[in-house]
Amino acid sequence: MARQLFSTPTGMHDFLPSDQPYWEKIRREIFDMAEFYDFGHVATPILEHQGVFEKSLGVASDVVEKEMFTLKTKGGDDLALRPENTAPVMRAYLEHGWESLPQPVKVFYLGPMFRHENPQAGRFRQFNQFGFEVLGSEDPVIDAELILIATNLLKDFGVKNLICEINSLGDKVCRVKYRVALKDYFRNNIKKMCPNCQRRFKNNPLRILDCKEERCREVIAKAPQILDFICEDCRSHFKKLLEFLEELEIPYTLNPHLVRGLDYYARTVFEIYAEERRSAQSALISGGRYDGLAELLGGKNVPAAGFAGGMERIINEMKEAKAKVSARSQPRIFLVQLGDLAKKKSLKILEEFRKNNILLAESLGKHSIKTQMKLADKWEVKLTLIFGQKEALDNEIIIRDMTSGMQETIPLTKLIGEVKKRLKS
């Protein structure tokens, strides 16, 4: 009977050692940026009550209708693996009484999200996101600061030639008139559009603007623009934001049909791309303002804005851009051990090197000196330590210079000092 070899579930993947330098660079830059701009780190549960997303994202949204992983506990609770993290952050704000803290509250997060969608390039069922959120301010300078942080993070990751697409969705009052105008426009065209757009026409015509189908894009291109419908307050907010971006010399383009696929967004929405691959990819970072989210979750009005970036997608872009990442440190010393006593004492030798912060390669599971010396050659180390049965009994060790081939026997008590001296030279 043939053995069954398991693979990762559809749409999920392993994070292999070869990719870790990219992950580590992203994490390092995120924490450094957060520290400078005074964002606190928040970690929400991977599982949330299903209602957190149904109320915030909208029951008719694609995420809630088709993409959420849900489960019922033995106690009867309806839970969901988080498909995004903005709603959980606002839930935490309301649950823990953050409104009593000095406003705005600034937090960042990173971790896995889950969506049950068809896997394709840049889209997975388990994926990792980081995000920055500012809760408790409606000032457009907050929107500008977030776009600045997002742009600078991508630059620090090594992604080049960035462009920010931006739009205003107005507030919930503005959008009533705009929805009516969209319905009137799409009514005569909806039969030749895709099934998703036909469903969105009934539930929320704004989401039609987010369709990527070519036949739908042709119709969408001539649709009414929301900037013609927003009120004076929303227009002023948007104008100030653009002035901040111009002062910061952040390149942007107005995209009057840019929307977000979630119910809680209002006013500012933006997406950031690597310009040369704009047509072939989804956004690296997306965000905007979500002033109505707290009320959807049962709280009082809390103006807020934020953004999120997909880490796998950004890593792919870093590779395309040949971004520099720190290679894993290479040990310059290899320990060869022979015999049971030497192997037993080798563990203490390894611990001494760890305490002195000196990288040391070894292969304790190998017994042949020939095999271990081949590994030392493969590592291209400067020094090899040879520790056999005789050396273990005499508390000595042999240091071999791999360049000259010269070797010397020294007491174990002098090993660390001798290695440090030779590495310096």
- Residue 11 in any domain: the answer is no
First CA to last CA across the chain, in angstroms?
Answer: 59
Q: What is the CATH number of the domain that holds 124?
A: 3.30.930.10
Quick one: 81 and 153 in the same domain? yes
Q: What are the structure tokens assigned to 183, written together? A: 């319905």
- Residue 7 in any domain: the answer is no
- For residue 121, pLDDT over 70 is answered with no
Beta partners for 131? 109, 308
- For residue 170, pLDDT over 80 is answered with yes
Cα within 13 Å of Cα(228), Cβ side: 9
Quick one: 124 and 250 in the same domain? yes
In this prediction, residue 93 has a pLDDT band, given cuts at 50, 70 and 90, of very high
Say if residues 40 and 107 touch (Cβ distance below 8 Å).
Answer: yes
Q: Which pLDDT does position 261 carry in this prediction? A: 62
- For residue 280, pLDDT over 60 is answered with no
Give CA angle at 246 (146, 134), nearest 5°.
15
Q: What are the structure tokens assigned to 64, written together? A: 């809630």
Which of 265, 289, 320 terminates a domain? The answer is 320
Residue whose tokens read 């969901």 = 80
Beta strands of 345-419 (E only): which ranges?
361-362, 383-387, 396-401, 407-411
Quick one: 289 and 374 in the same domain? no
Quick one: 411 and 370 in the same domain? yes
Q: What whole-number distance in Å separates Cα of residue 190 and Cα of residue 183?
A: 9
Cα-based distances in Å from 339 to 369, 396, 400, 410: 10, 14, 19, 19
Task: Give percent of the chain above pLDDT 90.
Answer: 64
Task: Give percent of the chain above pLDDT 70.
Answer: 94
Quick one: 51 and 109 in the same domain? yes
Residue whose tokens read 């440190």 = 329
Residue 36's identity, in one-letter code, is F
Quick one: 58 and 84 in the same domain? yes
Buried b (16+ CB within 10 A) or exposed e, 182-206: beebbeebbeebbebbeebbeebbb
Give CA angle at 210 (209, 214), nearest 5°.
85
> Of 84-93, 161-170, 200-209, 250-259, which range is least confident?
200-209
Q: Which pLDDT does position 11 carry in this prediction? A: 87
Quick one: 343 and 382 in the same domain? yes
> Of 105-119, 216-230, 254-268, which range is least confident?
254-268
Q: What are the structure tokens assigned to 298, written together? A: 């049962």
Q: Which pLDDT does position 263 carry in this prediction? A: 66
Q: Which pLDDT does position 259 carry in this prediction? A: 83
Which of 48-57, 91-100, 273-282 is the most confident on average? 91-100
Q: Which pLDDT does position 237 carry in this prediction? A: 96
> Of 75-79, 180-184, 274-278, 286-290, which range is least confident?
274-278
Q: At what angle do helices 140-157 and 311-320 cross, to 10 degrees?
A: 50
Q: What are the structure tokens assigned to 303, written together? A: 């103006």
Q: Which pLDDT does position 18 carry in this prediction? A: 87
Quick one: 364 and 241 in the same domain? no
Q: What whole-number distance in Å separates Cα of residue 40 and Cα of residue 316?
A: 28
Domain tally, the chain: 2
- For residue 230, pLDDT over 60 is answered with yes
Note the pLDDT tens digit of each residue in 7-27. Answer: 988 888 888 888 999 999 999
Give CA angle at 206 (200, 210), nearest 5°.
80
More confident residue, 182 or 119: 182
Q: What whole-number distance in Å separates Cα of residue 83 and Cα of residue 125?
A: 9
Q: What whole-number distance in Å separates Cα of residue 62 and Cα of residue 144?
A: 29
In this prediction, residue 372 has a pLDDT band, given cuts at 50, 70 and 90, of very high
Residue whose tokens read 């809390």 = 302
Q: What whole-number distance in Å separates Cα of residue 340 and Cα of residue 365?
A: 11
Quick one: 244 and 137 in the same domain? yes
Q: What is the CATH number of the domain that holds 357?
A: 3.40.50.800
Residue whose tokens read 């109505």 = 292
- For residue 57, pLDDT over 80 is answered with no
At residue 226, the 3 state secondary structure works out as helix
Cα-based distances in Å from 38 to 105, 107, 160, 250: 10, 8, 26, 22
> Of 149-158, 165-174, 214-223, 397-406, which range is least confident?
214-223
Q: Which pLDDT does position 60 carry in this prediction? A: 57
Beta partners for 239? none
Note the pLDDT tens digit of each residue in 388-424. Answer: 999 999 999 999 999 999 999 999 999 999 999 999 8
Residues spanned by the domain of 408: 333-424
Which of 320, 352, 382 terminates a domain? The answer is 320
